[in-house]
Structures are given as structure tokens and as C-alpha cells.
Amino acid sequence: MQSSDRVIVVGGGPVGYTAALLLAQQGIPFVLLEAGHVVFDEPRAGTVHPPTLELYASIGAIDRFLDRGFKVHNYQYYDRKQGLVADFDLGVLSELTPFPYRLMLEQHKICYIMQEMLAEFDNVDIRLDHELLEVSQTADGVIATVQTNDGIVTIDGSYIIGCDGGRSKVRKSMDVEFDGFTYPERFLILSTTYDFGQHGYAFTNYIADPEEWFALFKVPGADGSGLWRVVSPVDEIFADDAVQARIQRFRPRDTDYDIVHRNIYNVHQRVASSYRDGRILLAGDAAHINNPLGGMGLNFGVHDVFNLIPRLISVLQGEAGEEVLDLYDRQRRTVAQEYLQRQTIENKNNIELQDPAEREAFYQGMRDTVADADKLVTYLRRVTMIEGFARAASIS
């Protein structure tokens, strides 16, 4: 293949790096463009669901994932005043998946794993400090206009895949809409070395409250010994004393918490009106964004590229027509609209239910689910993304 036959991947996050590795494993030339100069390690996604683990197992990455992540065999749902409402045992999924658990592994570490595996291949072209400005199409290819440290350059290719996040420049070069809404509040993420496990919390916990809900997770952290993330909604930027006050309201203690990271970000629910415009394609947050409750966004993006890349390779190798790219759009966009958005919106609505009767009915429904093996499997198939993954495959 000539340089113009290569695939351009935009975005050096886990979705972009996974797309690059899938191309490399099949001998397809590519160039990955990333605006930053490093993989950013700010606290973002950290949950890997069973179907995603199965996909990474299929490309020989699973041992690296399991070596570096924390297995979560159960997760807990609390009411902030009542205490524990339900404890969900993921082990009941053992007949449906070889990975009946969540894996807590920060998204930047997934990038590191993909980089390690890409290093085993020749002719890997990864360009940092390359910020995409715009994309144009020709009759038989695409041209990316890119800002570099040495000025503006153009890079040509056969197709371009935008894995460049919610503010995607690739998407903005397409004739598509990004419909949905933005929540009025923002989400605050605090990371601390304090061990919440001593109070009986699982590695994944949701704490419902009509005024100030919390989500609590344990991730490996920089040295693998573990950090706890505390997520809550905010409507203002927090100074240091306000950050301490927030986490102290969650779990009071005599001394200040050691805050390792903090991050505040806007939260959206949006899906692109199409994942394809000719030779321009979208995956991951460039195609869909959602609130993080349930840990689905990263996983959904990974599912995108595992669906897309084999189809794109079949087109490049002359084994299929471009209609298979339309099938990618149909499968992944449909499920984003009817599953990803619905489930994540529902997760947020449930954790902040205002009406006491509605809240208690929801809690009783969870208790009934945990007590009934069939209901529990059905419920966990949905929230661990097994159901949505199967649904996408069923669309023709």
C-alpha cells in the first residue's frame, strides 16, 4: 500500500490506540495523530465490563489487563441515610462470560498496554503534538490538516477514524449533528489514598441521595496499591477547603483527606446523527457521550472499534463494499441511542430520585432482583453491557 492507502486514526486515548493495534495486527498501515505530547493520566474512566474483556482477550491483551487491574466481583447500592440496599453478585454471569466481573483499570493504563503491544510491530506511525484542524475528502481518500510544532502540515490517507473525544474535530468536519443535552451540574472526581474498604464498601458503590449522591470506586492508582475515587455533582468550582468539606460530608473523619487528584467536568448525553460521512468515520466519545454512572462510555467506544476495524479492513482489501461501513453505523449508533443513552440516563435519575415513594419502590425492586436468580441475571446482563453488545450484533 502507498502512504495514501493508510488509515488515519485521530485521538490517542484508549479507543484510538485500540483501533491502531487492531490495524497493526492485520498489517494495515496507519498513522495515529494525538494533539498532546503524552497520554494524560487525569482521573477519567476506570471500569472495564465483561464483553470488553472478552474483546481484549481475543487480541492477546487480557493477561496485561488482569495483571494491572482490580477484579470487582460484586458492587453495592446504598441509600445515603438507610445504608446498604442491595449487593449485586457478578458471579452469576459465569455461564455467560469467562469474565464474570468488572475490572477496575484506569483508561490511561489501557493506552499504555496498547502502546506496549504496538511496539512489537514494525512501521508503527504514532505522531504526538499533532492537533487535527480539519478533514477534507477527495474521490478516493481523505486529507487531514494538522497543526504541529513545526507548523501546519497535511496528511493523506484512505479513511480517517475520529476517536478524538466529545469535542471531536473529525466530527465537526462531517455533515452530522450531535444531538442531546448537557446536564446543568458538573461532576467532581476526587481521588484519595484513604481506604474506604475498612467501612465495608465494595470496590464499586453507588450511594443514592436526592440532594447529594455519591459514587465510590477503587482503582489501582499509580503504584497498584489502590486509590479511591469519590464522584459527586457540583454546581460551582471548588476551592481546597470546599473539596475537603464535600468529602467530609460523605464520610466524616478527624483529619483531612489526602486528595491525590481532583477533576471537574461537564456531563453530556449526545449521539452523532451518523457515524459515517463518506470516508470519515467516528468511534468512541466522538460519536457518543454520556454520564459516567455505570462505567459504560469507554467500553462502548472500544466496542465501536472492534466492530468497525474488521469491516474497514475488508473494504481496504477488496473483500467487501462500503455498505459494511453503513452496517457499522447502523449497529453501533442504534445501540447508542436505544441502550447506552437510556441506561446511563436511567442510572443518574435513579441515584437522585426526589420522591420518597418512588425511591423506596426502586430500592424494593433492587432487593427483589437480588433475591431472584433469573431476575438478577437479566438485570446484570443489561448493566454489564452483555445485552447491548448482543443487540448490536443482531442488527442487519
Using one digit for the tens of pLDDT, what is the confidence trace for 36-65?
A: 999 988 888 999 999 999 999 999 999 999
pLDDT tier, 240 (very low <50, low <70, confident <90, very high otherwise) = confident
pLDDT digits (tens, 9 = 90+) for 166-180: 999 999 999 999 999
Average pLDDT score over residue span 357-385: 97
pLDDT at 340: 92
pLDDT of residue 202 exceeding 90, the answer is: yes
Question: Taking each helix axis from N to C terminus, what angle separates 386-394 and 50-58, rounded to the nearest 10 degrees?
Answer: 60
pLDDT at 236 over 80: no
Residue pair 157/138 in contact (Cβ under 8 Å)? The answer is no
Query: Across residues 191-216, what is the average pLDDT?
Result: 96
Instruction: Give pLDDT, residue 237.
Output: 61
Q: What is the mean pLDDT of residues 195-214?
A: 96
pTM of this prediction? Answer: 0.95
Map grid coordinates 497535511 to a residue.
154
β-strands 276-277, 280-282 pairing: antiparallel
Residue 235 has pLDDT above 80, yes or no: no
Rounded mean pLDDT, 183-204 = 95
Strands 47-48 and 204-208: unpaired
* Burial environment of residue 138 by CB neighbours within 10 A (0 to 12, 13 to 18, 19 or more): exposed
Which residues have a Cβ under 8 Å from the Cβ of 308 and sit 6 or more positions away? 19, 161, 281, 283, 325, 328, 332
Q: Please give the pLDDT value at position 238.
A: 65
- In terms of Cβ atoms closer than 10 Å to its own Cβ (0-12, 13-18, 19+), residue 149 is exposed
Average pLDDT of the residues of the chain? 95
pLDDT score at 40: 85
Whether residue 142 contacts residue 159, with contact meaning beta carbons closer than 8 Å, is answered with yes
Percent of the chain scoring above 70 in pLDDT = 98
Is the pLDDT at 3 greater than 80? The verdict is: no
Cα distance between residue 102 and residue 127, in whole Å = 32
Q: Any idea which residue has 446484570 for its cell?
A: 380
Asked if residue 241 has pLDDT above 80, the reply is no
At residue 95, what are phi and psi to the nearest 5 degrees?
A: -85, -10
pLDDT at 348 exceeding the cut of 50:
yes
Average pLDDT of 65-82? 97
Residue 255 identity (one-letter amino acid): T
Cell numbers 420518597: residue: 356
| Euclidean distance between CA atoms 50 and 162, whole angstroms | 25
Specify the higher pLDDT residue, 264 or 95. 95
3-state secondary structure the chain: CCHHHCEEEECCCHHHHHHHHHHHHCCCCEEEECCCCCCCCCCCCCEECHHHHHHHHHCCCHHHHHHHCEEECEEEEEECCCEEEEEEEHHHHCCCCCCCCEEECCHHHHHHHHHHHHCCCCCCEEECCCEEEEEEECCCCEEEEEEECCEEEEEEECEEEECCCCCCHHHHCCCCCEEEEEEEEEEEEEEECCCHHHHCCCCEEEEECCCCCEEEEEECCCCCCCEEEEEEEECCCCCHHHHHHHHHHHCCCCCCCCEEEEEEEEEEEEEECCCEECCEEECHHHCEECCCCCCCHHHHHHHHHHHHHHHHHHHHCCCCCCHHHHHHHHHHHHHHHHHHHHHHHHHHHHHCCCCHHHHHHHHHHHHHHHHCHHHHHHHHHHHCCHHHHHHHHHCC
3-70+104-180+269-351: what fold?
FAD/NAD(P)-binding domain (3.50.50)
Does the structure show a pLDDT above 70 at 2?
no
Over residues 54-83, mean pLDDT: 97
- Per-residue pLDDT band for 25 (boundaries 50, 70, 90) equals very high
